[in-house]
Amino acid sequence: MRINGLISNKKIFYFAHRGAPMLKQENTVESFSKAIELGCNGIEMDVQLTKDNKIIIFHDNYILHNKHKHQISKLSYDDIKKLCKDMQIINPPLFKEAVPLIRRYPEIIFNIEIKSHFLNNYPIIYQLKQILSSKKLTKQCVLSSFNYSLLLQLKLFFSNANIAFILGGNQLAPPKKLFIYKLMIKFLQPTFVHPNGHFLNSNFCKWLHKNQFIIHAYTINDTKALNKMLELGVSGIFTDNHQFYSNN
């Protein structure tokens, strides 16, 4: 299996979803390192921008503290660290802390899912473009999002980036809705399409293959779902289950 010029000796390309979350705290450098140690082909991480323009690795768009949702976009990084200290949980790492790991493992593809509900995403795109400034790093990374205005801005402002169009289950199920997303995919021309594997069907896969889009399905954690993905001919999966790719 070949993705971005890198070859996997496995039947399918395994992205470690947020690292190895069954073994280490998800979305941390330690979790990513553990997944790489075990034999994954790629790493998936979630990034978003704080109020003071720091890119952090964190999935949810809020931190729940004392039954109150604190929106990440309205918090400075120091605010976040104070909340984490009070809750006795690990601070979300800064994205720049993961960059040495990306450099250390040129054979690993890093999927960076950008979390955003904003129309204007230039601040985070600009920073990512500066951080991933070398051609080698850019080629090694995939920038994905549910935010399609963000993907369009990536096309405009980070034109040499590999982008991925993510589709949720509610977008895959209704045929009329799926038709609209097909048009959007054709317009944006992403290299990759990342559908929810549990709603993926053969007709959509055939359409994606016919139009030469590479499919990475999420989040596949059991053997039955994995076998379905193999039958559908997807190129890669995102998984929390490190046993799928473990070389041990």
**Are 78 and 150 a contacting pair, CB within 8 Å?**
no
In the chain, how many domains are there? 1
Does the structure show a pLDDT above 50 at 36?
yes
Q: Is 83 exposed, middle or buried (0-12, 13-18, 19+ CB in 10 A)?
A: middle
pLDDT tens-digit series, residues 149-176: 999 999 999 999 999 999 999 899 888 8
Does the structure show a pLDDT above 70 at 9?
no
**Are 99 and 127 a contacting pair, CB within 8 Å?**
no
What is the mean predicted confidence (pLDDT) over 6-33?
89
Does the structure show a pLDDT above 50 at 44?
yes
Q: Is 80 a domain residue? A: no
The overall average pLDDT reported for the chain is 95
Asked which of 8-12, 24-28, 189-193, 233-237 is least confident by mean pLDDT, the reply is 8-12
* Structure tokens that stand for 6 in this block: 């890198």
Q: Is 161 a domain residue? A: yes
Under DSSP, the state recorded for 139 is H
The DSSP secondary structure of 18-61, one letter per residue, reads TS-TTTS-TTSHHHHHHHHHHT-SEEEEEEEE-TTS-EEE-SSS
**CA angle, 225 as apex, 221 and 231 as ends, to 5°?**
135
**CA angle, 233 as apex, 59 and 227 as ends, to 5°?**
75
Write down the pLDDT at residue 93: 98
Q: Domain residues for 238?
A: 2-61+93-244
Q: Determine the Cα–Cα distance for residues 76 and 176; give it in Å rounded to an integer.
A: 41
Does the structure show a pLDDT above 50 at 19?
yes
Q: Is 191 a domain residue? A: yes
Q: Determine the Cα–Cα distance for residues 117 and 104; give it in Å rounded to an integer.
A: 32
Q: Is 77 a domain residue? A: no
The DSSP secondary structure of 58-91, one letter per residue, reads -SSSEEEETTEEEEGGGS-HHHHHHHHHHHT-PP
Q: Determine the Cα–Cα distance for residues 69 and 86; give it in Å rounded to an integer.
A: 15
CA 143 to chain centre: 7
Q: Is 149 a domain residue? A: yes
The CATH number for 13's domain is: 3.20.20.190
Q: Is 83 a domain residue? A: no
Q: Is 105 a domain residue? A: yes
Write down the pLDDT at residue 5: 58
Q: Is 68 a domain residue? A: no
Residue 175 CB neighbour total at 10 angstroms? 9
